[in-house]
Structure formats: structure tokens, C-alpha cells
Amino acid sequence: MNYTLNQLRIFLKIVEKQSITKASEELHLTQPAVSIQLKNFQNQFPIPLTEVVGRQLFVTDFGSEIASAAKRILKEVDSINYKLLAYQGELAGRLKISVVSTGKYVMPYFLSDFVRENPGVDLVMDVTNKSRVVETLEENQVDFALVSVLPQHLNLNKVSLMKNVLQLVGNPKYFEKVKLGKSVFSKDTPLIFREKGSATRAAMESYLTKRSITVGKKIELTSNEAVKQAVIAGLGCSIMPLIGVHRELKNGELRIIPSKSLPIITTWNLVWLKNKKLSPVSNALLDYLGTNKEEIMKTHFQWLDSY
């Protein structure tokens, strides 16, 4: 056999995406190039790695076994590269962080200079909802997670990064058509929610329950971006983290609707399991944040103080 590391990486991506087209997009390669590499890799085995039923690609049992072996091989190759860099005096390794969806507006600013200053560090950042973030922590799949609501059932260490401000927002033109009463929460104003498992959804529901507010009509969407676009389009209002709608507030597409007991303020925390043995890269990030987080907040997020 004479397969290459590049073929292993391409095959793993095909297995992950269950699609040559999606794999080629992620790898920034043409679809024919990925197909050719898959064919060359397949030619080295007498048993099929994949099969196509209809127009859907499926990985065979044998292909799944080969993918697991490929993953182990590539992990060892990465380990060799990191060890080489370490012997040369560079910080090297993989940093895996799970981030709740709104956190994508936060975490990159706390990582950019660190990653740029340490080219031997490979960053893997998974952006998902809170339920999945908690799952990755429980299963020790990541080094850190960024959350605004701490999971109480886990024994965690944390570094508090910055505040998370949530306000009720709507499209100004929407209120030219809908007359507000004493409260925006009425049968005439649909309220747009994130899906169950979202920290923003939990914060909204807690706020409404504590104040015995009954919502006339609920709309549920599965991402912050979808909620934002729906509010801009005048589909309804939503309680949203300002970190994700700053530009729209600034240019007038959205405005904050004054309401009692708002804003809701939580804290963005970088958390990790207390019993986790941190890698040199993880410890270096914590040292970096301890030194630089105040300056990062001042440079990029001082505008939050005006709300």
C-alpha cells in the first residue's frame, strides 16, 4: 500500500461530511480533485470504502474501520509535529474550545493575538448550542468551553471574561404598524425564541416566568442569525444579546424597546473541568488571558457600557 497523509485527511473529511461536495468545500478543493483522491485511495483496498445509493454517499463498515485508523495515524503525525516545535522552543499543540452560538461574537477577540503569536498552536473551535457545549465538557472532548450560564451539575474552574447584556429589540418600522400598549409582551406582538437548549432561550423563559408574563404568539428559530434576520424583517421582537446585534443597533435596523427589569446581564465565562490535566497550550492561554483580557475588553467591547 502506498497511501498518502493527504489521502487520509481527504477520506476522513468525506466520512465526516458524508458527501464529496461538502468535503471539497471544507477542504477548499475542487470536487473532481477530491473524487480523484478518493478513487486513488480506494484502489489500494479490495473491499469498498464507500457506496452510493441513489445520490447519497454511504461509508461501509470497512470504510468506518479505515477512517478510525486514519484518525489515529493523523493524530500521531500531529503529535510528532508538535514535539518537533516544542524541541525548537515553540509553544505547540491543539487547542479545542466549544462555544455557545452567541459566543462566536466574543471568543475570537480573546484568541486572535494568542494564536498569531504562537503559530505552532492549532485552534479547533466548535460553535453550537448550550446543550452540545455541556456535552463536550462532560465527555472531556474539549479543553475549554465558553458559556454565559454555568452548568451547575459539573465541577468547573472558570475565568470570567466580560458581561453579556440582553435587551428586548425590534425593528423601528414594525412599531409604525403595531401599537404598543403598556407592555410589548402582548397578543399583538409575536416573540421570537431560540430553540430549546439555547442559553438565550433559557434566559428569556426565566425572565418571563419570574414576571408572570404571558406571550400571545411564540416563534421558534434555530440560530441567533435567524432570529436577528426575523426581527429585522418585522416578524416580531426578541430578547437578544447585544453582542450579536451591535451593528444593526448602530445603523438603525433595530432598536432597544424599553421594558421593566431589562436588561438581563450575565457573564461570559471560559470554563474547564476541575479534574482536567491542562496541556502547556491551555495553561499558556490562561496566562495570556490573565494578562490581556482587560485590554481586549477595552479595545473591542467598551461600547457595551453605553447600554
Residue 266: what residue type?
Answer: T
Residue-averaged pLDDT of the chain: 87
Residue 45 has a pLDDT of 92
218 and 234 share one domain: yes
Q: Range with the lowest mean pLDDT among 89-93, 243-247, 263-267, 272-276?
A: 89-93
99 and 122 share one domain: yes
188 and 48 share one domain: no
Closest CA to 242 of 234, 230, 226, 254: 254
Q: Provide long-range contacts, Cβ within 8 A and 24+ apart, for 84-89.
A: 85/120, 86/120, 86/280
Q: Which domain holds residue 200?
A: 163-266
CB 231 within 8 A of CB 170: yes
Cα–Cα distance, 23 to 29 (Å, whole number): 8
Q: Range with the lowest mean pLDDT among 5-19, 133-147, 208-222, 272-286?
A: 208-222
The set of cell numbers assigned to 268 is 461570559
Q: Indicate whether 3 pLDDT > 90.
A: no
Residue 181 has a pLDDT of 47
127 membership: H or E segment, kind and range: strand 121-128
121 and 178 share one domain: no
* Of 58, 85, 112, the domain-final residue: 85
Q: Indicate whether 175 pLDDT > 80.
A: no
Q: Range with the lowest mean pLDDT among 24-33, 60-69, 73-82, 278-287?
A: 73-82
User: Residue 36 maps to which CATH number?
Assistant: 1.10.10.10
Kindly report whether the global pTM for this prediction surpasses the value 0.85: no
* Of 59, 85, 111, the domain-final residue: 85
Residue 279 has a pLDDT of 86
At 91-107, the pLDDT tens digits run: 778 899 999 988 999 99
Overall domain count for the chain? 3
**pLDDT confidence tier of residue 214, bands split at 50, 70 and 90:** confident
168 and 242 share one domain: yes
167 and 261 share one domain: yes
Residue 2 has a pLDDT of 80
141 and 52 share one domain: no
CB 221 within 8 A of CB 145: no
Residue 27 has a pLDDT of 87
262 and 280 share one domain: no
Residue 260: what residue type?
Answer: K
Residue 166 has a pLDDT of 93
Q: How far apart are the first and last CA of the chain?
A: 63
User: Residue 98 maps to which CATH number?
Assistant: 3.40.190.10
180 and 193 share one domain: yes
Residue 212 has a pLDDT of 83
101 and 124 share one domain: yes
At 136-167, the pLDDT tens digits run: 999 999 999 999 888 888 899 999 999 999 99
201 and 256 share one domain: yes
CB 248 within 8 A of CB 224: no
Residue 224 has a pLDDT of 85
187 and 252 share one domain: yes
At 227-247, the pLDDT tens digits run: 999 999 988 889 999 999 999
**pLDDT confidence tier of residue 277, bands split at 50, 70 and 90:** confident
* Of 66, 85, 104, the domain-final residue: 85
